[in-house]
Structure 1
Amino acid sequence: MIALFHSDHRSHPAHPPGTQKTALSVNVNKVALLRNTRNLDIPSVLRAAELCLQAGAQGITVHPRPDERHIRADDVYELAALMKDWPHCEFNIEGNPLQNLMHFVRDLSARGLPLHQCTFVPDTEDQFTSDHGWNLAHDAELLQPHIDYAHARGVRVSLFMDPVPEAMEAAKAVGADRVELYTESYARAWSGAEKNKVLSQFAQTARAAVAINLGVNAGHDLNRDNLAEFLRAVPGVLEVSIGHALVADALELGYDATVKGYLNCINEAFAPATTV
């Protein structure tokens, strides 16, 4: 069974390992990045999202930055309209709520367009890519009103967080429904001697979140090589958001085969262990 999403941000308990498969949300930012090198709307961000959903992806993610270096405001609204045709799939917008994120929450709500999840990411405006999670000892007071604003519009909130078990209580206390574990450290360590140590840190963090009914997402530099091992080791991951590697694979394999390949990685992670 492929995991489906629900629109109510209050109805997402973290699943026990082995009872529900992790959902795949495809981040289409890099499609937009390529498109923006010309004025021809090629490749189409909307078509890319549609093909990924047709192939079995359970969600679409975008991260519109203030400089519109990839995803543009029009993309957000067009993708949200597309998601109305996919009621069992989710639309997730990432970004810094202190920059341009919250006006999308306001506008989509006002237009009656779907938005299921906001992932709050502590990016600066000129940051190359997301590279750290929130420090809630300093950031909680800033985030609280934005979390409340999203909740008032029926939108689930996930906080982009480093794998620090002790930080999960603070994420829960500020009102987050989920955390998205920033997985670049795992991707860097995957082929080296530190992999098991790093994986253990993620597993401990996920267990700490699950123990207080805080949902767990994960993302950043996950790919077909490292995804299944991560999901086997880290309990309760409800969703992975994958963009860079997935779009790179799609350049060679096409969207359909690529999405199905990532879904196979998820299936592999949840397959029963075999004995010899």
Structure 2
Amino acid sequence: MKNSKTRTVILLICGIIVAAYCLMNFIILPLYTRHWQRVQVPDVTNLSLAAAEKILRHSKLVPMRGEIRFDDAVPAGYTIFQNPVANSFVKKGRRVYLISSKGKRPVTVPQLVGTNMRDAQFSIVQNQLIVGRIAYESDPYYPDGVVTAQSIAPETEVMAGSVIDMTVSKGETMGGLFVPDLYGLTQDKAELLLKRSLLTKGRVSFLESANVAPGLVIHQSLQAGERAARGDSVHIILSKSPQAEALSW
């Protein structure tokens, strides 16, 4: 009799425990957590921000734009990462933070002018750029095979894979130089300009002039714009005051 009562008590206790578990698990906890309001987070990575936001709103979630990072694999404006992650369960109205891509990291265009063509090509490829059209022109300043111009200025930031065109010197051709305009310059400035133009200062003479300040060029033996060869001499005449004595070098 006593054993029967004990068994009944044990069964009663077990029944109470099971009932309490079911009550807690299926009624109280869902009421507390609003389990019926939980939704599964969709996967919106590798989608455009606009598409990702539309899908999240449709799922009763709130999209929030977060950090923007460089990414070589994901195009600019597309999502890289989301938090909470895809397929997790959250309450309706939960914020989902989106990290998006701003595309590939830009690269800097190297200095090519003044380097030989082979080094310039290597530098272009090394900086994740593409060698474009190469034009060849005669140039009085740069020797044969040296880059004289580039299509994009150095230190410019561009996208990897951008094309860089170059102009390469064929060296100087005979008669390929032009005589600079020396009129009104001092002797020192005239000599410097001739040197930069790969020409040589010739004879310097003086002539009285009432219209031009003393010491300035009033005549040159080769006219401005005239073609000349490297090293050609250009004679100049400088003005002097009418009362000064004539000099000739």
Task: Report the TM-score when normalising by structure 2.
Answer: 0.17
Q: Which has the higher contact order (CA 8 A, sep 6+)?
A: 1
> Which one has the bigger helix percentage?
1
